[in-house]
Structure 1
Amino acid sequence: MSKFRMHHPKSAVERMNLPRDIGGRGVVDVAAQHHRQVDSLRAYFYSKEQASPLHAAVCKADCGLTPLNLKDRSFNPQSGVKSDQERIEEWKSKAMHGKHVNCLWQPFVDLHLSNRWLCAGELFAETEGFMCAIQDGVVATRAYKKLIMKERVENDQCRMCGSALETLDHLISGCTVMAPVQYITRHNAVCKVIHQNLAYKHGLITGTCPVYRYEPQAVLDSSAYSMYWDRQVLTDRHTAHNKPDVLLVDKTGRSAYIIDVAIPHNSNIERKYVEKKVNYEPLAREIKEIWRLERVVVVPIILSATGIVPKSLTASLDVLGLSHSLVQTMQKYTILHTCSMLRGVLDGFSH
């Protein structure tokens, strides 16, 4: 797998044999399978020896002659086999590799949806391996080379902005030079998923297309709904945050939904959700008063840059009446853009 770039040599080996729905790679542990088969065959021979002289003779004669070792009744072929829980605990205990898995088991995270991209199998094996390397923190940034690999690095500052230590966290979501283009492109990909599906659901467009081909219109309008894409909302009183990603107005239901997307690093997921709620509450009050609506709801759409899905995301989709299957689509495009962005930085500026 390392030879064909499906597994980074420094990635966590503990996750290789874990099921994909809990963050593993789903590779069958051949040694464990062998031990389980030996244990099953031993149980079979012991169950037959009372009624079959042949099986009894075999049990008496096999003193280490086969892997079953039937004469030794105390022999336990599965004594060295690690359980999934033991592997998870070993993975969690690692200072660097364990950051991602410890985040997966936080109470606000949806474990199985966060690993949906691994189960879906929609990505190339090389992209999957690279994202696992990102999650394990073993991508060759300047800080990683200097602090972890102990290589001689003349300049450990970010090669893009030059104003901060070049860590993986910084490149994924903290670089000021990458924010206006790379981060916005990733952000807009997730916004387009929401915009297109809301527009189709409410009859504002007649069909759907792949996200990479979808170009949202600034304003979509019908007798029942209006939807705005990245438009500034004029209000009587000044509001600092008055340009949500998507604004959906239900004319018949006299309600509106302020939808704003954020793709932070894992450690900022909860903070970003609260931040979006607080920032857009003043705008919600202004819209409700000016447009004489009965209800205005702020709907944050939060998804981590490495694909971790908080439980708040499905709750937000429920508010909008959208399917939870959209999580997989948003997660896929987030991961693709994160991988592409890092490859561009590390390969394009490797000299």
Structure 2
Amino acid sequence: MPDGAVMRNAEESRYKYLGVLEVDGIKHDQMKDQVKKEYTRRVRNILKSKLNGGNIISAINSRAVSVVRYGAGIIKWTKNELEEMDRKTRKLMTMYGAQHPKADVDRLYLKRYDGGRDLLGVEDCVQAEVNSLDKYLCASEENMLKEVNISSILENKKHGQSREDIQKRNLRKRVYGEDIDSSCRVCGAAEETVAHIVSECQKLAQKEYKEVRHDNVAKVIHWKLCEKWGFEKSDKWYTHKPEKVLESNECKILWDLPIQTDKTLEHNRPDITVIEKKSKKCLLIDPACPFDTRIERKEEEKCNNYCDLKYEIARMWRMKEVEVIPVFVGALGSVTKDFEKWIQKLDLGIAAEKLQKPCLLGTARIIRKVLDIK
């Protein structure tokens, strides 16, 4: 400086703009550290108070989560960082007696009218704010925002996905009027709709639909059958590897094996066949995961398809009773009106969500794979 004073290096300093630390750019790491510390401090103070359970949740949602919400879409959070903050919240709640150690995690985040506790998850909150910011910028008529939107927002991977990748091609063409090819990016044989991606694409049928989703639903049932009849199984259903044939003095279980009959039958391969030796009873268990709007019709078709096989099994194996158990879970989680009836006939104590979970996880994997294909 003219008077001999030395100006401090700007790179070693920082300033706040609307509460966000900046120099030549946003100081993401420092801001994330500050936000996490302040969030944890507020959650801890709330839990130390003498509020009742409902007011504790409300206070965390309004007082603590708002700290993270403010910088959402500006501060670059990773999925792991947000998940860790949610885990930290649950640990603190357990430490201070606001949450039982073995309480259901999903219920904690469900709305109160659905039977949950209505805690606002940090990860969900940030994603909702990012989506809202994206919609606002894309709909804005301000010239400066329009220019920034095109050059920067679409370069951001999250915003790019929400505007381009996640919106199905059929929706973009028919609803938004974009001049694009709306055929499926995997098979190219049909319009790319939600129903087509998750349940109708022939190129996804044998591997993704079967191995990633259908077989996992069937695996849960097989795992519970092994538990019921005393066969060896793994601790968790997702590590369970079904044997083709399991047999004891009381029961025989077949996994995905064709049943040889005197008469040639088109439908002779149930996913699971259970033969109860003492009662002379046979169950043909056949799970499926069609699109949700078709589960009722497909369930009826499945029962009709196995009518001839039922007759042949009763005759050849001298069974007193042969019954088809169609366990249908929609690709997006719906179940049929007779679902509980079929589950009760299995007598395995399986709740609907135990089969919905692997189905939905499989659908999510399929969608992620498809949307990665440009």
TM > 0.5 fold call: yes
2:362 is matched with: 337
What is the deviation of 1:312? 1.6
C-alpha distance 119-164 of structure 1, shift in aligned 2 (>3 A): farther
| Percent identity (aligned) | 32
Give distance in 1, aligned partners of 2:369 and 2:182. 18
Give distance in 1, aligned partners of 2:297 and 2:207. 23
Q: Secondary structure at the match of 2:192?
A: coil
2:103 is matched with: none
- Note if 1:328 corresponds to 2:349: no
Give distance in 2, aligned partners of 1:145 and 1:218. 46
Q: Secondary structure at the match of 1:261?
A: coil
1:198 is matched with: 225
1:150 is matched with: 177
2:274 is matched with: 248
Q: Secondary structure at the match of 1:178?
A: helix
- Note if 1:189 corresponds to 2:216: yes
Q: Secondary structure at the match of 1:226?
A: strand
C-alpha distance 275-224 of structure 1, shift in aligned 2 (>3 A): same
Task: Give the AA of the match of 2:336.
Answer: P
Query: Which structure shows the bigger proportion of residues in helix conformation?
Result: 2
C-alpha distance 203-146 of structure 1, shift in aligned 2 (>3 A): same
TM-superposition CA deviations, 1:167-215 (whole Å, max 9, x none): 111001000000011100200000000011011101122x442222111
1:169 is matched with: 195
C-alpha distance 164-200 of structure 1, shift in aligned 2 (>3 A): same
Give distance in 2, aligned partners of 1:321 and 1:293. 19
Verify the 8 A CA contact 2:166 2:371 in the aligned structure 1.
Answer: no
What is the deviation of 1:150? 2.1
Task: Give the AA of the match of 2:224.
Answer: N
Task: Give the AA of the match of 2:249.
Answer: S
What is the deviation of 1:29? 11
C-alpha distance 120-265 of structure 1, shift in aligned 2 (>3 A): farther
Task: Give the AA of the match of 2:364.
Answer: C
Give distance in 2, aligned partners of 1:119 and 1:193. 26
Task: Give the AA of the match of 2:326.
Answer: P
Q: Secondary structure at the match of 2:290?
A: coil
What is the deviation of 1:120? 8.2
Could you state the TM-score of these two structures normalised by the residue count of structure 2?
0.56
What is the deviation of 1:309? 1.9
Verify the 8 A CA contact 1:158 1:164 in the aligned structure 2.
Answer: yes
Could you state the TM-score of these two structures normalised by the residue count of structure 1?
0.60
2:310 is matched with: 284
Unaligned segments of structure 1, at least 5 residues: 1-27, 31-114
Q: Secondary structure at the match of 2:259?
A: coil
2:287 is matched with: 261
What is the deviation of 1:314? 1.4
What is the count of residue pairs matched by the alignment?
A: 226
RMSD between aligned alpha carbons?
3.0
2:340 is matched with: 314
C-alpha distance 344-256 of structure 1, shift in aligned 2 (>3 A): same
- Note if 1:220 corresponds to 2:250: no
Verify the 8 A CA contact 2:281 2:319 in the aligned structure 1.
Answer: yes
Verify the 8 A CA contact 2:275 2:281 in the aligned structure 1.
Answer: yes
